[in-house]
């Protein structure tokens, strides 16, 4: 079991501006809850938990001086929108131990257990929004001396790129190094406001429309949500090349105008596998509509590009064309992969500006978020989810997060509790990818078999 021994409120080490910051339209479409990450350190020195915590606490305090919005709180304003109170209330740091004996070699086939889920901080949302910390950190030591660092980060405040900048800065300060100007965050959120408010959008934005629902009569008439489970799989770069070759085989020898990316082919392959297992579970509904959603980092897609130091959300959702199970399952792999590419490529400067205007014209952000994240679809009768939502955490320097204990040997999402949600990440050695996917527990074994169908199954070690 995991035991929380103490909690510490960490405030900036120096006086920070006391002000109210407006959030961008991109921030406003996010939920005010937290996403989580879990870092595992096995090469830690034989230091006590207290000394490790002291290093984290003092370096976090210094980091919050520069990233002071993380020490603030959100508050509601008119129309269901947020604003950020920079009031130096601080981040929360938890000190914990776990009596579970961690066997890292077994994590390749690891299915998150109740113990695993306790390693990520739990947030109390039963208090006013103004009392919810935007950053909660949990440091947990195991009997073998390994450490896990669990982070809960408010989604409305930052995206993966901003998280990476924050972590790199924090780790450098923890190692006793200084921050250069390239790591100083740019806190001006007005760069992602629409240029002219109340200007109608120039594009249709299906990413903001309700997703398809499951048609199966079996799923529609049960009030009990199914048990969910997470599959964590490894796919080597050699196996990705096999998928790329399959995706480029159009029969005419021409192939795509540029090679498919690893993200595109893994996402397309993942979509096909998930459709196949759901097809069986829904008694063979071939005409079932389905779509894939992902996030696109728009920093370099805008004109002019956002500065590299921009600290906030700059990822926008994009969706594929709505397809059918039959199309995804029986057309060549290039069909699903091509749909993923089309969804990503359409996100241009003009498309983002149009999306910003779309968001600016919304009257009720709470209603919009409820629709966007499909929270009401299952109320009263569980309909299931025929779609897939893929988050890309590749090409980030998360494995450089050395707080003085060495680099992490594994990084995973702290929790994945939404059916059809998947994360695609690099592994520590850089020679493979980790795919973590949440599905109905009864579908996981079949999914794993389908995922490796046609490619050699790798060793289990991450």
pLDDT at site 252: 41
pLDDT at site 96: 95
Q: Comparing 156-165, 240-249, 359-368, 369-378, which segment has the lowest mean pLDDT?
A: 369-378
pLDDT at site 457: 60
- Answer yes or no: is pLDDT of 318 > 80: yes
Q: CA dist 228 to 256, 419, 440, Å?
A: 37, 7, 4
Task: Specify whether 300 is located in the same domain as 443.
Answer: yes
Give the count of alpha carbons within 13 A of 163, CB side only.
23
pLDDT at site 375: 53
Query: Domain range spanning residue 99?
Result: 2-192
pLDDT at site 218: 47
CB of 312 closer than 8 Å to CB of 192: yes
- Answer yes or no: is pLDDT of 219 > 70: no
Residue 423 has phi, psi (to 5 degrees) of -120, 135
Task: Specify whether 234 is located in the same domain as 345.
Answer: yes
pLDDT at site 197: 53
Among 240, 224, 213, 144, which residue's Cα sits nearest to residue 435?
240
Q: Comparing 119-128, 183-192, 290-299, 327-336, which segment has the lowest mean pLDDT?
A: 183-192
Indicate which CATH number applies to the domain containing 119: 3.30.559.10
Q: Is residue 198 part of a domain?
A: no
Of the candidates 162, 192, 222, which is a domain's last residue? 192
What total number of domains does the chain contain?
2
- Answer yes or no: is pLDDT of 311 > 60: yes
Of the candidates 142, 167, 192, which is a domain's last residue? 192
The CA distance from 376 to 172, in Å, is 43
Residue 125 has phi, psi (to 5 degrees) of -95, 10
Of the candidates 192, 223, 258, which is a domain's last residue? 192
Task: Specify whether 14 is located in the same domain as 121.
Answer: yes
- Answer yes or no: is pLDDT of 302 > 80: yes
The CA distance from 149 to 394, in Å, is 19
- Answer yes or no: is pLDDT of 93 > 80: yes
Task: Specify whether 247 is located in the same domain as 296.
Answer: yes
CB of 66 closer than 8 Å to CB of 86: no
The CA distance from 95 to 56, in Å, is 11
49: helix, strand or coil:
helix
Higher pLDDT, 201 or 5: 5
Burial of 158 (0-12, 13-18, 19+ CB in 10 A): buried
Task: Specify whether 272 is located in the same domain as 363.
Answer: yes
pLDDT tens, position by position, 341-366: 999 999 999 999 999 999 999 999 99
Q: Which residues pair with 382 in a beta bridge?
A: 222
Model's pTM, two decimal places?
0.92
Task: Specify whether 279 is located in the same domain as 145.
Answer: no
Angle at 240 between CA 234 and CA 245, to 5 degrees: 155
Q: Is residue 197 part of a domain?
A: no
- Answer yes or no: is pLDDT of 441 > 70: yes
What's the mean pLDDT when you consider all of the chain?
88
* Strand duo 73-77 + 81-86: pairing: antiparallel
Q: Is residue 200 part of a domain?
A: no
The mean per-residue pLDDT over the stretch 401-417 comes to: 90
pLDDT at site 254: 46
Task: Specify whether 186 is located in the same domain as 214.
Answer: no
Q: Is residue 290 part of a domain?
A: yes
Task: Specify whether 61 is located in the same domain as 127.
Answer: yes
Q: Is residue 395 part of a domain?
A: yes
pLDDT at site 251: 44
pLDDT at site 338: 96
The CA distance from 54 to 10, in Å, is 11
- Answer yes or no: is pLDDT of 380 > 60: no
Q: Comparing 9-18, 230-239, 383-392, which segment has the lowest mean pLDDT?
A: 383-392
- Answer yes or no: is pLDDT of 191 > 80: yes
pLDDT band at 223 (very low <50, low <70, confident <90, very high): low
pLDDT band at 250 (very low <50, low <70, confident <90, very high): low
Q: Is residue 203 part of a domain?
A: no
**CB within 8 Å of 327: residues ≥ 6 apart:** 335
Task: Specify whether 253 is located in the same domain as 153.
Answer: no
Task: Specify whether 122 is located in the same domain as 217.
Answer: no
Q: Is residue 456 part of a domain?
A: no
Q: CA dist 452 to 3, 226, 266, 308, Å?
A: 38, 25, 12, 37
CB of 108 closer than 8 Å to CB of 66: no
Q: Is residue 459 part of a domain?
A: no
Percent of the chain residues past pLDDT 90, beyond the cut: 73
* DSSP characters over 324-384: EHHHHHHS-HHHHHHHHHHHHHT--HHHHHHHHHHHHT-S-HHHHHHHHTTTTTTSSSB--
Contacts 24+ apart (CB under 8 A), 302-307: 302/349, 302/352, 303/349, 306/191, 306/192, 307/186, 307/191
The mean per-residue pLDDT over the stretch 443-455 comes to: 93
Please give the span between the terminal C-alpha atoms of the chain, in angstroms, as a whole number.
24
Residue ranges of alpha helices (H) inside 23-101 are 25-28, 49-66
CA dihedral 350, 351, 354, 355 (to 10 degrees): -150
What's the farthest any 2 CA atoms get from each other in the chain? 65
pLDDT tens, position by position, 277-297: 999 877 777 899 999 999 999
Q: Helix crossing, 262-281 with 333-345: angle to 10°? A: 120
Task: Specify whether 166 is located in the same domain as 78.
Answer: yes
- Answer yes or no: is pLDDT of 103 > 70: no
- Answer yes or no: is pLDDT of 320 > 90: yes
* Strand duo 289-290 + 228-236: pairing: unpaired
Task: Specify whether 30 is located in the same domain as 60.
Answer: yes
| Element of type H or E holding 92 | strand 91-98
């Amino acid at each position: 079991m995991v035991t929380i021994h103490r909690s510490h409120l960490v405030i900036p080490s120096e006086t920070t501006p006391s002000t109210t910051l407006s959030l961008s339209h991109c921030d406003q479409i996010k939920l005010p809850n937290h996403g989580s990450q879990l870092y595992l350190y096995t090469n830690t020195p034989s230091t006590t938990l207290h000394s490790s915590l002291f290093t984290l606490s003092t370096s976090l305090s210094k980091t919050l001086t520069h990233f002071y919005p993380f020490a603030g709180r959100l508050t509601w304003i008119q129309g269901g929108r947020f604003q950020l109170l920079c009031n130096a209330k601080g981040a929360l740091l938890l000190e914990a131990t776990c009596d579970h004996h961690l066997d890292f070699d077994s994590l390749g086939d690891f299915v998150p257990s109740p113990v695993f889920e306790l390693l990520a901080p739990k947030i109390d949302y039963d208090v006013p929004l103004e009392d919810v910390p935007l950053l909660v950190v949990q440091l947990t030591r195991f009997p073998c001396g390994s450490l896990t660092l669990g982070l809960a980060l408010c989604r409305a405040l930052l995206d993966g790129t901003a998280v990476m900048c924050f972590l790199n800065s924090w780790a450098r300060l923890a190692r006793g190094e200084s921050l250069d100007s390239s790591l100083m965050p740019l806190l001006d959120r007005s760069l992602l406001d629409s240029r002219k408010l109340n200007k109608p959008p120039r594009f249709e934005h299906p990413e903001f429309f309700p997703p398809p629902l499951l048609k199966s009569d079996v799923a529609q008439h049960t009030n009990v949500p199914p048990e969910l489970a997470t599959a964590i799989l490894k796919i080597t770069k050699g196996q990705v090349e096999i998928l790329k070759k399959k995706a480029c085989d159009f029969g005419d020898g021409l192939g795509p105008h540029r090679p498919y990316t690893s993200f595109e082919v893994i996402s397309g392959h993942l979509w096909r596998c998930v459709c196949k297992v759901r097809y069986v579970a829904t008694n063979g509904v071939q005409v079932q509509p389905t779509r894939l959603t992902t996030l696109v980092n728009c920093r370099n897609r805008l004109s002019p590009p956002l500065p590299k130091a921009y600290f906030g959300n700059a990822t926008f959702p994009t969706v594929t064309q709505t397809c059918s199970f039959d199309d995804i399952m029986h057309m060549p792999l290039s069909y699903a992969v091509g749909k993923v590419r089309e969804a990503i490529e359409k996100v241009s400067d003009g498309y983002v500006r149009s999306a910003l205007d779309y968001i600016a014209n919304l009257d009720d952000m709470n209603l919009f978020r409820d629709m966007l994240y499909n929270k009401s679809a299952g109320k009263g009768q569980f309909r299931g989810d025929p779609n897939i939502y893929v988050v890309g955490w590749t090409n980030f320097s998360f494995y450089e997060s050395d707080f003085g204990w060495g680099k992490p040997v594994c990084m995973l999402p702290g929790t994945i509790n939404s059916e059809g949600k998947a994360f695609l990440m690099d592994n520590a050695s850089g020679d493979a990818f980790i795919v973590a996917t949440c599905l109905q527990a009864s579908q996981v074994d079949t999914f794993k078999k389908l995922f490796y169908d046609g490619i050699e199954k790798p060793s289990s070690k991450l």
